[in-house]
Structures are given as C-alpha cells and as structure tokens.
Structure 1
Amino acid sequence: MRLPYLLSTVAAVLSTVAAQFVAVPKTPGLTFLYSLNCTLGEPLVVGNVPEGNRVVIPITGGTFAGPRITGKVLNLGADWGLTDRTGTFAADTRYHLLTDDGAHIFIRTSGPAQADGMLHLRIIFETGSDKYYWLNHIVAVGVLKVGDGSVWIDAWQLDSPGA
C-alpha cells in the first residue's frame, strides 16, 4: 500500500517541478540608446567566396543622437556583408563613432536581413572613455532601415526582466 502512495507523491512533485520549467519567463525590456544615420560609399564587389557573395560597402560618415550619447560617424569603416546561398544578406560591420564631447567608440554589428527588408543587428561597443565605459558591458540590438545611399539604425540596450 505504501508503494502507490509513494509513486503518486513522486508524480505530484515531478509535475510541480516540470510546471516551473514550462512557465513563460518575464520578458526583458529595452532602453533606447540612439538613432543613427550613416552615409555609404560605392560598394566593392568581392564576389562569390566560400560562404556566399561578399560585397564591401564603405561607411563614409553620418550622425547619431540619443538621450545619453550624441555625435558623428567617422569616415572610417565598412560593412563586409555576405549574401548566403538562400539570398539572405547579413551585415558584418566595423566603424567608428566620435561623441560630441570627444570620446571614441568602436562598433561592430552583425545580423541578417528580414522579410520586411530591415536588418536585425547585434551591436558590440568598445571604448576607453570613462563616461561611456558602460557601453562595453551591455547587450545591444538595432533595427536597420536602408535608404538611398544611407542607412538608419535605431539602437536599444537589453534590460533584465523585472523581479
């Protein structure tokens, strides 16, 4: 008689534990960082490489502005984008920001084009500036829209879900 009771107790405990793992976690938030407009140079076609079709698009300048950071995009960098065998373009950029107060920030982005024509980007920042050092340790995402000879990127910091 003790075995059925023990089995039903174990089943109840396992069911409770499983329900905790199935529960939908809280959604992280996003904090707006900036909007960036970037001008582009003439593309350089590298051609078909083992990973797909590579095109280099020079980044020639621009501006960015947000609540905590503003400045300009320097004529220093490019997108080494790749179009894969399915026709999906993925950005692979390296470029440089100069804030209005003189801080230098190196940026790397990567991410695929979406069906709506926009690109979803992962953004990584590097800076030695004390004021903007916090950028080195955040997870950031961006949405890129293509214009005529330019691109717009709206960037956000990922925030932990509330307790």
Structure 2
Amino acid sequence: MTDRDAPPATRRALLLAGAGLALAGPALAEEARTPLADVPMVSPRTEFVYEAVVEIAPLVSLGDSPLGERRIVPITGGRFQGPRLGGTVLPGGADRQLVRKDGVRRLDALYEMRTDDGVILTVRNQVLIDPGRDGAPDYRFSTIDVTAPEGPHAWLNRLVLVGTLASLRPSRDAVLVRAFRLA
C-alpha cells in the first residue's frame, strides 16, 4: 500500500507530523548545539609522570599492505626517570608502525621497563604522527598504558596517561617519550 492508498486520517497525520518536524528542525538543531548548562565543563590538566630515552635498532620494513607500509623498530634498551620512579627500559620490545597513504604514521610500541627497586612495568604506547604541512610542526601525541603489579607502583594502573614523542637522531639512535597523567 502506498501512502496515497493510506486512509485519509493516517495520511493527514503523517503530513502534519512532517510539517511539524520541518518547522521544529531549526529549533531542535539549535538545542543540540547548546552545551548542557547544568554540567560544568572541566578541561583536563596534565601532570608529568616520567620521561624515557628509548634506544632503538634500525627500522625493518615489513612491506606494503592495503592500509600502508608496515614497519617494525626493535627496542634495545634505555632509561626512564620521573618524580616517583626511575629505572631502565629493557631490550626485547618493539615499535610496530603503519605509514598510511596520507603520510600519517601510527605507532604501537610494546615494551617493559624495570624500576630501580626491581619492579617490571609493561608499557604500551600508541602514537599518532601527522607530518606538518605548510610549515606547521608535526603532530606527535600518544596514549600510554602502563601495567604494574600490585605493590609500590600499582598507582600507575589507575591513571590515564598521554605522551609526546621526539626523535633524538642524529646524535643517538633513540626517541624521547614524555608521559603525563590526565588530572
């Protein structure tokens, strides 16, 4: 049954409802753009947690994929230090990378760090690097997930961490990772 075949009352109701939506549309759209007045907006702050100098081996290309070039960079060691912890970056981790067709790089690094008191932390650092265009600087930010065992460093399990990444080349084969907690 087409809407021309619908009973007149039903067709009339549909037309009236459509007209009402058409008239209310701008008002509904305006309401959708208005922030919730009864919920205060709280912008996150950051607090420094640590910085790590992560030593790396030469990049190995894993070939092209439909999403872009796949690469891996072995992690060979390093050091980290912050106000509440410090220690060494253990060898054996790796940074898996995808270089997309638009030039954006997605990095997914997984490695371990040993604190000065012997605790092993597992770090997963997911980075997005967008090369600067038209003179703009690179965009290099990450989310960092640190997993700690129960004990003196368990506080790391309850944080949302964000980070920055900077290359230390050509002076050394390493990157500088700075981690900040959202507060």
State TM-score, norm by structure 1: 0.81
Length, aligned pairs only: 144
Which stretches of structure 1, 4 residues or longer, exceed 6 Å deviation after superposition?
A: none
- Gaps (5+ residues) in structure 2? 1-30
**SS of the residue aligned with 1:75?**
coil
Instruction: Write the distance in 1 (CA, Å) between the matches of 2:129 and 2:37.
Output: 32
Contact 1:118 1:143 in 2 (8 A): no
Displacement of 1:127: 1.6
| Greater Cα shift, 135-144 or 23-32 | 23-32
After alignment, is 18-27 or 70-79 more displaced?
Answer: 18-27
Q: 1:19 to 1:129 in 2, by over 3 A?
A: closer
User: Which stretches in structure 1 are left out of the alignment for 5+ residues?
Assistant: 1-14
**Within 5 A, what are the aligned runs for 1:4-153?**
18=34, 20-21=36-37, 25-114=41-130, 115=132, 116-117=137-138, 119-148=140-169, 149-153=173-177
Higher relative contact order (CA 8 A, sep 6+): 1
With the length of structure 2 as denominator, give the TM-score of the two structures. 0.73
Deviation of 1:135 after TM superposition, in Å, equals 1.0
User: In the TM superposition, what is the alpha-carbon distance from 1:31 to its structure 2 partner?
Assistant: 1.2
Identical pairs, percent: 29
CA 1:33–1:101 in structure 2 vs 1: closer, same or farther (change >3 Å)? Answer: same
Q: Deviations over 1:31-80 (max 9, x none)?
A: 11011111110111101023211110011111010001100101120100
More strand by share: 1
